[in-house]
Chain A
Amino acid sequence: MRGILGRKVGMTQLFDDSGQVIPVTIVEAGPCYVTQVKTVETDGYNAVQIGFEETPERKLTKGQRGHLAAAGAPNLRRLVELRYQGAPDLGLGDEIKADVFDQGDYVDVTGVSKGKGFAGVVKRHGFAGGPKTHGQSDRHRAPGSAGAGTTPGHTFPGMKGPGQMGNKRVTVQNVQVALVDPDRNLLAIKGSVPGPRGGLVLVREAVKKPRA
């Protein structure tokens, strides 16, 4: 599966050929290097490990340095594995640039969403909260009932409640690539992408490609 790691830079607008405005997220993608090739014979499945972002040697352990040196890759901070259906078409040390994707390709973008902390049920699940007037006190953002009484005698698992929101791995599927420029390591993706500006994102070929 084609893929590349990058950092989210921010959002802006582009104009398409017909003059329509398209909202895009700019991703500084690559260059990535192939750091390991796994095949059915060697590992029981097909995959390629790619690395991104150079880092000073002192930040890596000896083991990591050895692993990267074996691939002939520079010192990289982020490693990620991409599964392949058939035998990978990439070799050790190959460079991956933004042009693995073309304009118009459908991709899935994975990132870690912005953390919202411990959020209530109104923010986290879109509950309506309680009435705002008619003598209500302390009920404005309350979750309401969590279930019936003595029967069944407990709250059903999976009941929506307050808790940690965000800061979680999120994937947006089937978003289109609006612009590619390998020289500037630039990938413009139509729409929004999970995570804060400067966050690490993984752009992969769409798994559920829309029919053309």
Chain B
Amino acid sequence: MSNALMNSLQPEANPNIPQIRPGDTVRVYQRITEGRNQRIQIFQGVVIAQRGGKTPGATYTVRRTASHGVGVERTFPLYSKTVEKVEVLRNAKVRRAQLYYLRERQGKAARLKEKRFLRT
């Protein structure tokens, strides 16, 4: 039927979000509105999963280790308007699409091998 109608609702990609992949260490800048004030909150961690490709409902999950070794994961919608920008800090060589095994690892065991050649 109206695939055109569905496609017309595809959200616009945020130009400040580069191509990201599982294993990337990223810094997510999110706009937070508190009453009348706005500020930017930064969430830095490893992308452990991406869901939904480029569909309107696509998301990516970022995991970081907070104080006392507590893991914190946040899932951001790819097309979220509150995400100002995403910076890729490093790429890692990973052999699977979902890095859920990182949840069971701590410290040195949770390291990922860096990619030698940066993607272009």
List residues of A whose CB falls within 8 A of some B CB.
7, 9-10, 12-15, 18-19, 21, 26, 28, 184-186, 188, 197-198
Contacts and interface: CB of A to CB of B under 8 A. Distances in A.
B6 A12 contact: yes
Given A15-B11, A15-B79, A15-B80, A186 B56 contact: no
B118 interface: no
A197 B3 CA distance: 11
B5 A19 contact: no
B33 interface: yes
A28 B11 contact: no
A108 B64 CA distance: 45
B66 interface: no
Interface in B24-70: 31, 33, 56-57
Contact of B1 (A7, A15, A186): A7
Nearest to B58: A13
B77 A28 contact: no
Interface of B: 1-2, 5-6, 8-9, 11, 31, 33, 56-57, 77, 79-82
Given A9-B2, A9-B5, A28-B1, 14 more contacts: A12-B6, A12-B9, A12-B56, A13-B77, A14-B56, A15-B11, A18-B33, A19-B31, A21-B77, A26-B5, A26-B9, A186-B5, A186-B8, A188-B9
By secondary structure, the B interface counts as loop
B50 to A, nearest CB: 16
Contacts of B11: 15
Contacts of A21: 57, 77
B81 A19 contact: yes
B6 A9 contact: yes
Nearest to A23: B57
A12 to B, nearest CB: 5
B1 A19 contact: no
Nearest to A8: B1
Contacts of A7: 1-2
A186 B4 CA distance: 11
